[in-house]
Amino acid sequence: MQEAQKSLSLWAKIKSMLSEKNNIYLRPFISSLLLLTGFIFHFFHFAFYQHDISPLLWNILAYLPVGIPVLIEAYKCIKNKDIFSEYTLMSIATIGAFCIGEYPEAVSVMLFYTIGEIFQDRAVNRAKQNITSLLNLKSNITFVIRNGQAIATDPKLVQIGDIIEVKVGERVSLDGSLLSPSSACFDTAALTGESTPKTIGEKGSILSGMLSLNKVVHIKVTKPYGESTLSRLLAMVKDAAQKKAPAERFIRKFARVYTPVIVGLAILIVLMPLLYASIHPTFHYFFHTWFSKALVFLVISCPCALVISIPLGYFGGIGAASKQGILFKGGNYLNAITKIDTLLFDKTGTLTNGIFEVQEVQEIQGTEDPKEIQYIQTIPQNPLDIPYFVKAIAEVEAKSNHPIAKAILAYAKKINLPIRPIDEVEELAGLGLKANLDHHEILVGNLPLMDNYQINYPKALCNTVSTIVCCAQDRILLGYFILSDTPKKNLVQTIKKLRTLGIKKMQILSGDKQSIVSNLGEKIGIKSAYGDLLPEGKVKHLQELLSQHSHNVAFVGDGINDAPVLAMSDIGIAMGGLGSDIAIETADVIIQTDHIEKIADAIHIGRLTTKIVYQNIALALGVKLLVLTLAALGIANLWEAVFADVGVALLAILNAARIPYSYKSYSK
């Protein structure tokens, strides 16, 4: 019985060695062992190895483990009409080497290529690690509360409005709002790159991919599985690999022309000396010699280093960025961000925290020519003292997701103000909201909105360095809120870092009042600050910059109103884009946190990636050109050809793999 168990155990080990995972190591190991023993047999003059056929058979055995996969790939390429692939070149070169008796060299080409592939796979896996780790966040099961019990369900089957339960240490599978009456702590590192846990209170927004740290929580689902934050993020990561940078596209086109040219030159290396010998009888032509040189030429010509290392470089850059909470939607944007010399910023939520607080509530008395202003306490002592316009503003703003609306609703909650639901609310882009309330037209928004509807207001408000939200009923001003916002932490230092990175021009484009925008610009060191801009005003400003053809412009924004300029700019950068569907869809780069420093990080990663990619191009083309010249002159042999092909590919792969380790974050 024990012997049978040992046999089964041995067979399990053999099967494990032959498994797909280990097969990539087993094949080069067998080939290396046979090649090495062949050298030993030859060196010590083993009798059986001296027979003419023995070295051929022995090296064929060494060739097959590493050669068959390449021959199969060559067949597939030819079948798909891709005749001049690297697999075809290596197949022709190695079979030709067997024909002229260069057995060990033929095996070595395939062996070193296979070893190079292993290094490539390891480098790719390392580069993908930060990105593919997201795939592990996807949960196949979520627990839905049904009749008071938590029932295991496929997340794809969960409906909006369902209640899900997430235990301590589990990941949230769907977006929703927190129902637990007390605050809960969540790890958001997988989504934002932030190591500091985030505390979220009742009705706070919960994103799929977050990890519950301290308690069992109940979450009301607000989005279906396919539209959840994590699903959208994963879809973008997959798409990113498909968007090629200019260097990648160039190499693909280059290879299509380069490879047939090389094959043609290899044929000429064989035929031209023959033609020369027919004209000059004194020249002795040996087919074996020139055929061998042509084979060396073919082996050197394989564009492995270029084809492998350049996409790997860009993928490494995308991986390094994702670790910092920066999502590039493709290698082309990594390349494009290096050329940026002009940065345009939205203000609220981008340069400022976007967390407004109501500072004052002002009620207007005297409607046609308001002169007397009655000050209302921020928190009235008696709810009956709350003016009608305060209720109207809160009820209308309840339909908006703007940071100002959230501040007003927080204020309403603070003073225990009941809010009625309103159905008919129209958003006026860049201005505010229009609603029908108690059979009256209610306008809630900024001063330009009041101007558009010819509503009188105290002109002194134009000079207020704060955010004003007015409320008018039937074209008569009832009152207004004064709110404040604060610049983001480290904003001044970030602006200085961006200048050291060569960003020559920076401007603020905002729909807020000019006085507020100018005041912020003065504080943070940006002289060009433009306020009172509607979305079309931002577009017009950007068009003027782009028409000059001397600027490469990036726009940084976070809201719905920013979507047109995010799309039009050379690079659109969305701040805190995980909460904004339109920002995610429109932007090219997404800063998954609200940290403004990440913009400098994104530019730095793009430049480092591009630098390493061009180093690889120069290395591969330089060495190949040198060895190709030597091969054409008959100086280089097959061993030098192997180094020029596989050796350079290995060096390029190792160079590309260092991107995540060479990068140092500006935000740390």
How many whole angstroms separate alpha carbon 636 and alpha carbon 645?
Answer: 13
Identify residue 207 by its one-letter amino acid code: L
How many whole angstroms separate alpha carbon 379 and alpha carbon 370?
Answer: 24
How many whole angstroms separate alpha carbon 264 and alpha carbon 272?
Answer: 12
* Phi, psi angles (nearest 5°) of residue 576: 55, 40
Structure token pair of residue 349: 């939520």
98: nearest Cα among 628, 638, 634, 636: 638
Structure token pair of residue 26: 């087993």
Q: Is 346 a catalytic residue?
A: yes
Structure token pair of residue 347: 């203000």
Q: Compute the half-sphere exposure of residue 479: CA atoms within 13 Å on the CB side of its CA.
A: 21
175, 187, 346, 645: the catalytic one is 346
Q: At what angle do helices 648-657 and 103-132 cross, to 10 degrees?
A: 10
How many whole angstroms separate alpha carbon 312 and alpha carbon 121?
Answer: 10
Q: What is the 3-state secondary structure (H, E, C) of 458-484?
A: CHHHHHCCCEEEEEEECCEEEEEEEEE
Identify residue 32 by its one-letter amino acid code: S
Using DSSP bridges, classify how beta strands 198-200 and 142-146 pair: parallel, antiparallel or unpaired.
unpaired
Q: Residue 232 contacts by C-beta under 8 Å, 6 or more apart in sequence?
A: 581, 584
Do residues 559 and 400 lie in contact, with contact meaning Cβ atoms separated by under 8 Å? no
**Positions marked active-site:** 346
